Structure 1
Amino acid sequence: MNEKEFDLGIVKRFFEHDYHDRGLMKWQGFYLSDHTAALNQQKIQDKQQYPPKPQQSLSIVGQILSTAYTQNQPVNLQLNTVDHNNQHFATITTPILGYNGATIVLANHQFININDIQHIELVRSTNWTGNQ
């Protein structure tokens, strides 16, 4: 086709009346396989349910925290927070690095208020390495 046969009006009419942009749909094929695998794994984890463990008193929680801290033993923590489906999150297994008043410090330097603990128990596993 040469310049004399080219009609800009045809192109303009095509884009105004015939062409339908699919928007973001055309970009969905560009997800990386590891990204889609991570998304699928997240969906599976979101469907897992973690039943609530019994609510422990503040004195019991304090005693277990004290033992864990002084003996350098990791603990399993279930917090009393829930997701949008009113389901508890997974149990956190961590050593207690320290405390400040009513706040404890976990291994990843995360701060947790002692009042947010639903249930706590010492990890008695012999294969705890501290790298989990």
Structure 2
Amino acid sequence: MRIPPPYQDRKLLKWNGFFLSEHTKQLSKEKTETNFIVPEKELMTSDEIDRTLYEARLKDRSIAIQKEEVDADNHYSPDIVGKIQGYDELGIYIANQKVDYDEIRNVEFIEVAKWSALEE
């Protein structure tokens, strides 16, 4: 009588067939996003920041704010994008969060694509 060879577990190899193309596409996208380094933008003066924020409030325009803070690797966080929802003496409210005036490194106008113009 012949003894069968011991069972060889293929570990993750056997699960690769269960990943759908949508899963691998999403995993690839997430990996790309986590490896993306936000470039450092030009440091604006407080007068330039004030003028840009004033015009954004006055004309109800969308803006992108780069905060001065960096992480442990000296990388900037992604821009805070949206319209100004409110303000007080210390800062502005944008995208449901408060940004103090002294935290702003750069602010610029952006064009937000309308939903009807988006392509798949």
TM-score bracket for the superposition, by shorter chain length: 0.5 to 0.7
Residue identity in the other structure for 1:44 = T
- For the pair 1:60 / 2:48, whether they are aligned, the reply is yes
Following superposition, the deviation at residue 89 of structure 1 comes to 1.5
Q: CA deviation at 1:127?
A: 2.9
Within the alignment, does 1:115 sit opposite 2:102 as a pair? Answer: yes
Q: Which residue of 1 aligns with 2:113?
A: 127
How big is the alpha-carbon RMSD for the aligned residues of Structure 1 and Structure 2? 2.5
SS of the aligned residue for 1:59 comes to helix
Using a 3 Å threshold, how does the CA distance of structure 1 residues 38 and 112 change in structure 2: closer, same or farther? Answer: farther
- In structure 2, list runs of 5 or more residues that go unmatched: 1-14, 116-120
Alignment of 1:1-132 (within 5 A): 41-107=29-95, 109-123=96-110, 125=111, 127-128=113-114
- CA shift, 1:51, in A, is 1.3
Compute the TM-score of the two structures, normalised by the length of structure 2. Answer: 0.66
SS in 2 for 1:66: helix
- Considering only CA atoms, is the larger Rg found in Structure 1 or Structure 2? 1
Normalised TM-score (structure 1): 0.61
1:118 CA drift (Å):
0.9
Q: Please list every run of at least 4 consecutive aligned residues from structure 1 whose deviation after the TM superposition is greater than 2 angstroms.
A: 33-46, 125-129
Query: Which amino acid in 1 is paired with 2:107?
Result: I
Q: Say which SS state the counterpart of residue 51 (structure 2) adopts.
A: helix
Mark the CA change 1:120 to 1:36 in structure 2 (over 3 Å): closer, same or farther.
Answer: same
Residue aligned with 1:76, SS: strand
- Number of aligned positions between the proteins: 96
Aligned-residue offset at 1:45: 2.2
Change in 2 beyond 3 A, CA 1:41/1:126: closer
Amino acid at match of 2:113: N
